[in-house]
Structure 1
Amino acid sequence: MIGIVIVAHGGLAREYLAAVEHVVGPQDGIRAITIEDDHDRSAKQAEIRAAADAVDSGGGVVVVTDMFGGSPSNLSLMACEACEREIIYGANLPLLIKLAKSRSLGVHA
Structure 2
Amino acid sequence: MIGILIVTHGKFGHELLKSAELIIGQQKNVLTLGLEHGDSIEELHHQIKTSIEKLDEGDGVLVLTDLFGGSPSNAAAANMEHLNFHSLTGVNLPMLIEVLSMRECVDIGELVDSAFKAGYEGIKNIGAILNNNI
Q: TM-score, normalization: structure 1?
A: 0.93
Distance of aligned partners of 1:28 and 1:80 in 2 relative to their CA distance in 1, 3 Å threshold: farther
Quote the residue 1:61 is aligned against.
61
Cα RMSD of the aligned pairs, angstroms, is 1.1
| Largest Rg, 1 or 2 | 2
1:64 Cα deviation after fit? 0.2
Quote the residue 2:78 is aligned against.
78
Unaligned stretches of 5+ in structure 2?
111-134
- 8 A Cα contact 2:44 2:72, kept in partner: no
Higher relative CO (Cα under 8 Å, sequence separation at least 6) belongs to 1
Higher helix share: 2
Displaced runs of 4 or more, over 4 A: none
Quote the residue 1:106 is aligned against.
107
Equivalenced residue count is 108
Unaligned stretches of 5+ in structure 1?
none
Provide the identity percentage: 34
Higher strand share: 1
Give the SS at the match of 2:57: coil
